[in-house]
Structure 1
Amino acid sequence: MKSYRLDPGQTGARLSLVERDAPEPGRGQVLVRMRANSLGFRDLMVLAGTYVLPVSPGVVPGCEGAGEVVAVGEDVTRVKPGDRVAATVFPRWLDGPFRRENAAQLGTTIDGVWTEYALLSEDGVVPLPPHLSYEEGAALPLAAVTAWNALTTGAPVRPGGVVLTLGSGAVSLFTLQFAKLAGARVIITTSTESKAERLRALGADEVISYREHPSWSVQVRALTDGRGADRVVDAAGPLEQSLKSVAPGGEVAFVGYSLSGEVGAQPLDPGTLFMAGAVLRRVATGSRAHFVELNRTVEAHRLRPVIDRVFPFERLPEALEHCRSHEGFGKIIISHGG
């Protein structure tokens, strides 16, 4: 089988495509023939050596993938050969709050899914919704689970409530889709009018250009008669603007701590945090239980993810360059064919 591996270097990391024998599953393990992967900004941080979690030398990168179970080890009961599954980003985080003992993550501390065959824990896979292709299913494990966690943990998003999500990246696109299913009014920020048009077509009620309005919290307040948004999903920052946009008693789901550059890295005025009068909650993707719950909703509503482009497995480095360009809209997919 072929696998990409990460060769750490002094100025970042280099990908190598290597061949080795396909592994055999041990007790509690499953062997998955990967059919598709997806990638995003998180993978660029891993390659650049700037990711928040440690990266094991020589690890197989990638945390998002879907495929077919081809073999199972002893005592495996949750899946069987022939099942269509997606991998969970944190295979040990099954339910409940995130804990350090569950921090083993695909593609950083343990081998990931940029490979033709992935050896995974049976606890670390979930069934794919039947109406989704492998390529569509591969879009879910990171961005969709993060959006689901951001919207469903804590106070519920109610019909008629206001959800603000930042940027037109994958997390925000899934947030938009899920929030509209919940009956919320969705405000979203973006950089260009062409993206704004696509966001409106997906159901966004209002779109704010953060280039025209760097202090976009003013626009959020104006659009909500001064009250602010009940839920802010901060996948792009800066956090200060999110805190100035949230309604009293609302919640900021903090996802994009490193995405807003120098502005976002500025010290936060404690007065801004206090005056927000809201809950600030860190979101670190989500558990297997989150994934199972979102899959039920995706299946019930026959929801489909927004796909930007599909690249063949051998052109994965080209897909990474496309990701760096920030020109896409939706998930970037790697197809294994077949």
Structure 2
Amino acid sequence: MKVYELQSKAGIDALKLVERPEPRPESGQVLVRVKATSLNYRDLIVAEGSYGSGQKYPLIPMSDGAGEVVAVGEGVTRVKVGDRVAGIFFQAWIDGQLNREKMKSDLGGGIDGMLAEYVVLHQDGLVIIPDHLSYEEGATLPCAAVTAWHALVTKGNIGAGETILLLGTGGVSIFALQFAKIHGARVIITSSSDEKLARAKELGADETINYKINPDWEKKVYELSDRTGADHVVEVGGAGTLPKSLQAVRIAGRVSLIGVLSGRGAQVDPLPILFKSLTVQGIYVGSRKMFEAMNQTISQHQIKPVIDRVFPFSEAQAAYRYLQSGSHFGKVVIQVSS
């Protein structure tokens, strides 16, 4: 079978198409013919070799993928041949809190991921994808969608009438926009592109801010929220934007720290957290239980993931470079097989 391997931490150029033997499922395992995978910013960090000390090479990258069950091992009861499934990000995080052992089971990081024609996963590391979604759409769910759900619903307890601030228009932010609107929340979203902001409006965003035109966007958020601040900020920028997010959120509000798109390592003044009595929570994807609860809501409301572009399997490097360019709105997908 054909798989992509990262053969070193040399970035996207280290991604190579190679042949491997087709795997066979053992007891409790499932063989999945992968139909589609989707990219996250995390995949760029993995390609650079800066994701963590646990990376080993060669590595099949990418956490997110969906496909068809084509064989099952002895004792498998959760899925059957023909089922349409997606792998969960942390293969060992079924429920409860995240811990060190569960963290070692991250697809496309600690263990081989989904950018292959076939993968073998344990039956516990799979969920059924909603019937109304294509494989390409189902492949967008495991990381970005679960992360947004974890932040807003599982930990955020989002309620009608709350004001949610979203930074940018990548995968997590667009899923967060969709989830916020079905819960009756008001959404403010930022981007450097008026075209992307117009598309966000079409998806239900109530207010938009071009942060190039309004570099002090935290002050604009304050104005747009009756001089109170947002109830909840989904913070994907990291060190470069976190200080502004701490200013943009209301007293006793919540900031969900999810990404590091604007960099790492800068000092952050903790006084706003103290003086405003803020809750700042780190969100590292989520469990299978969260994934399944999210899928029920996606099915109930017939939510369709927003896909910017689908690349063929032969153009995986081009898909990575497109994500790296920041041109995308929503998700970037690689179709592995038709």
- Alpha-carbon distance in structure 2 between the residues aligned to 1:9 and 1:196: 35
**In the alignment, which residue of structure 2 is the partner of 1:319?**
319
1:128-147 correspondence to structure 2 within 5 Å: 128-147=129-148
**In the alignment, which residue of structure 2 is the partner of 1:259?**
261
Query: Is the contact made by 1:6 and 1:60 (CA closer than 8 Å) also made in structure 2?
Result: yes
- Alpha-carbon distance in structure 1 between the residues aligned to 2:97 and 2:312: 36
Matched, 1:108 2:109: yes
- Alpha-carbon distance in structure 2 between the residues aligned to 1:192 and 1:266: 26
Q: Deviations over 1:170-222 (max 9, x none)?
A: 10000000000000000111111111101111100001111122221111111
Instruction: With the length of structure 2 as denominator, give the TM-score of the two structures.
Output: 0.96
**In the alignment, which residue of structure 2 is the partner of 1:214?**
215
Shift of 1:13: 6.3
Structure 1 pair 250–59 and aligned structure 2 pair: CA distance change class (3 A) = same
Q: Which amino acid aligns with 2:322?
A: H
**In the alignment, which residue of structure 1 is the partner of 2:122?**
121
Q: SS of the counterpart of 1:31?
A: strand
Shift of 1:275: 2.2
1:1-338 correspondence to structure 2 within 5 Å: 1-9=1-9, 14-52=14-52, 54-103=54-103, 104-237=105-238, 238-256=241-259, 258-261=260-263, 265-338=265-338
RMSD of aligned Cα (Å): 1.4
Structure 1 pair 296–21 and aligned structure 2 pair: CA distance change class (3 A) = same
Shift of 1:155: 4.4
Query: Is the contact made by 2:10 and 2:49 (CA closer than 8 Å) also made in structure 1?
Result: no
Query: Is the contact made by 1:29 and 1:122 (CA closer than 8 Å) also made in structure 2?
Result: yes
- Alpha-carbon distance in structure 2 between the residues aligned to 1:299 and 1:198: 23
> Number of paired residues?
335
Shift of 1:87: 0.7
Shift of 1:270: 2.2
- Alpha-carbon distance in structure 1 between the residues aligned to 2:139 and 2:67: 8
Structure 1 gap segments, 5+ residues each? none
Q: SS of the counterpart of 2:275?
A: helix
Shift of 1:5: 0.9
Q: Deviations over 1:224-252 (max 9, x none)?
A: 11211111110124111111111222211
Shift of 1:315: 1.0
Shift of 1:9: 4.7
Query: Is the contact made by 1:13 and 1:48 (CA closer than 8 Å) also made in structure 2?
Result: no
Structure 1 pair 10–35 and aligned structure 2 pair: CA distance change class (3 A) = closer
Q: SS of the counterpart of 1:131?
A: coil
Query: Is the contact made by 2:34 and 2:337 (CA closer than 8 Å) also made in structure 1?
Result: no
Q: Which amino acid aligns with 1:250?
A: G
Q: Which amino acid aligns with 2:202?
A: A
Q: Which amino acid aligns with 1:4?
A: Y
Q: SS of the counterpart of 2:58?
A: coil
Q: SS of the counterpart of 2:46?
A: helix
Instruction: With the length of structure 1 as denominator, give the TM-score of the two structures.
Output: 0.96
Query: Is the contact made by 1:7 and 1:13 (CA closer than 8 Å) also made in structure 2?
Result: no
